[in-house]
Structure 1
Amino acid sequence: MKKVNLILLFTLLLGCTAYLAYSSDNANVEVLPALSAPKDLPDFTLNDIHGKANSIHQLAQNKPTLFIYFNSTCHLCQEELGKISERIDEFKDYNLIFTTVQPKEEMIGFVEELGIKDKSFVHFLLDADMNVASYYQIRSVPSIFCYNARKELIAEYVGITKIDLLLENLGRGK
């Protein structure tokens, strides 16, 4: 019995040692997540909060674009958009497109509270038919997509994302 226990103990120790050696060798390797969103900014036409139809491509122009799918009742979205609005002037060289499936009446107060809707580079669009949500296969909000000036996806995030990281990605997209 002692011999069996010793063999098991030795095997366990050997396995643990091998695992620790493997994990320490790979500790400095940065694994980047694969981008799963469509690689190009889609060109849907959606109504803004004033009822005017807008092409996403026309709003993006030829500038890096931050495309955010959100819901005004989501506390994570409230926090993320609140942080963006606090630093809105740092985004002036880019285009921000905020899109939601909510009816205008449900989100207009939230948009007003942010105090950024009148900025020329900020756009709020309503995805009433859920075409954009289906295209992106939105499963959680906020869903954030960074596109370069050629409208190619360079980064995507779900949930609260550091503003500095968003600005860094947009800056790389010029």
Structure 2
Amino acid sequence: MRYFFSLVFAFMTAIGFAQQAPAKQEPPYKRFPTVPPFELLQADSTTFTKAGLKKQATMIMYFSPSCDHCIHQIEDMEKRWKEFSSYQLVLATYQPMEELVEFIGKYKMKEQHNIKLGRDTQFMLPGFFVIKSLPYFAVYDKKGDLVTTFEGNVKVDKLLDALKGKK
């Protein structure tokens, strides 16, 4: 009888270890490598969506107006705004509108006609991209297909190369 219970115990242990771990699922931006269906509330209370994008290379930047890394990134990009002029830039945040309005004024964003800024009120983008740190960048070609993503500060040359289609 003792051998029977030992055998049953060994069999049950073997079955327990034989269970497969669940397959690790890819994040949504890899499963659906096109521009996500975002909705941003702009400072003028209008909504900017994916449908408003032009047929040109696009960079979505998720940031916080109070994040030091994000501020340094924008300051680096600001020095070379002209080089970004033939691309669509979408800057999205989750912070209150007051912070966004102040940020727009400080960095003269209204003068940049290729930049759209807004609040991700649905908090859709962090889940879609599985954002772990800011700033976060997703670069898409003119067809809306994902080229690459970056997390954290990135050299401006690297961003421009990605917008040109170079990985």
TM range (shorter): 0.7 to 0.9
Question: Which residue identity is paired with 1:53?
Answer: T
Deviations 1:95-115 (A, max 9, x none): 000000011112221221111
Task: Give SS of 1:37's match.
Answer: helix
Query: Aligned pair count?
Result: 139
Indicate the residue corresponding to 1:87 in structure 2: 80
Show structure 1 runs of 5+ residues with no match.
1-33
Question: Which residue identity is paired with 2:79?
Answer: E
Indicate the residue corresponding to 2:115 in structure 1: 122
Indicate the residue corresponding to 2:29 in structure 1: 37
Indicate the residue corresponding to 1:24 in structure 2: none
Show structure 2 runs of 5+ residues with no match.
1-25
| Aligned match for 1:51, one of 45, 49, 60 | 45
Question: Which residue identity is paired with 2:73?
Answer: E
**Any runs of at least 4 consecutive aligned residues in structure 1 with deviations exceeding 3 A, and if so which?**
34-38
CA contact (8 A) 1:46 1:125 kept: yes
Question: Which residue identity is paired with 1:69?
Answer: Y
Deviations 1:108-145 (A, max 9, x none): 21221111233211010111221222222222110011
Structure 2 Cα separation of the partners of residues 72 and 136 of structure 1: 19
With 96-105 and 130-139 compared, the bigger mean Cα shift is at: 130-139
TM-score w.r.t. structure 1 length? 0.74
Aligned: 1:65 with 2:61: no
- The equivalences for 1:123-138 within 5 A come to 123-138=116-131
Structure 1 Cα separation of the partners of residues 58 and 36 of structure 2: 12
| Aligned match for 2:163, one of 156, 159, 170 | 170
Percent identity over the alignment?
24
Structure 1 Cα separation of the partners of residues 83 and 161 of structure 2: 11
TM-score w.r.t. structure 2 length? 0.76
